[in-house]
Amino acid sequence: MELSYQRMINVPQHFAFDRATDFERFEADGFGNLAPFEPRNDIRAPDLGARWRTAAEFQGRPRRFSLELFELSDPGTLVLGNKSEKYDVEARFEFTDAGPDTTDFSFSLSAKAQSITGKLILQTIQLARARIAKSMQLDFDKMAERMEAAYQAEG
């Protein structure tokens, strides 16, 4: 299953990337519709291999899952994911400089089943794909608006 999103954000690339990689804030407050990130190992971000447990509501119920920091390339790429016996998920966040006060933000999600249980989970998610894509778009639009407001407040 693949999902993607793209948008221009009216902030400099370094500002957007710094906000998107504020792991201490994610551990305290969460990110978008995700609950606070609970550290799950001794590796701390920005070191690769840092792991967290978080949750999000899906089909009216909270769903818990783990995330691991797979890649962090300053100033532009953040990759979080989860590899398990059931499925492999990779979420790639790209922040590309598009001008002095403009960043091209793109997000892509790739999920692959590794078991029959994983296939069933992904099929259930696939049935709700349109709703998930719309919710994802709203969450990322709000993220961009918060970044723009924070940048203007600092300026």
pLDDT band at 17 (very low <50, low <70, confident <90, very high): very high
pLDDT of 109 higher than 90 = yes
**CB burial class (10 A; 0-12, 13-18, 19+) of residue 137?**
middle
Supply the range of the domain harboring residue 90. Answer: 2-154
The confidence score (pLDDT) of residue 132 equals 87
**What CATH number is associated with residue 45?**
3.30.530.20
pLDDT of 98 higher than 80 = yes
pLDDT band at 30 (very low <50, low <70, confident <90, very high): confident
Long-range contacts of 93-102 (CB under 8 A, 24+ apart): 93/20, 95/13, 95/16, 95/17, 95/20, 96/13, 97/12, 97/13, 98/8, 98/13, 100/12, 101/10, 101/11, 101/12, 102/8, 102/9, 102/10, 102/11, 102/12
The tens digit of pLDDT for each residue in 65-79 reads 899 999 999 889 999
> What would the mean pLDDT of 12-20 be, rounded to a whole number?
95
The confidence score (pLDDT) of residue 121 equals 85
pLDDT of 8 higher than 90 = yes
Question: What is the residue-averaged pLDDT of the chain?
Answer: 91
**Domains identified in the chain, total number:** 1
The tens digit of pLDDT for each residue in 39-67 reads 999 999 999 999 999 988 776 777 788 99
Total residue length of the chain? 155
The confidence score (pLDDT) of residue 128 equals 86
> What would the mean pLDDT of 76-103 be, rounded to a whole number?
94
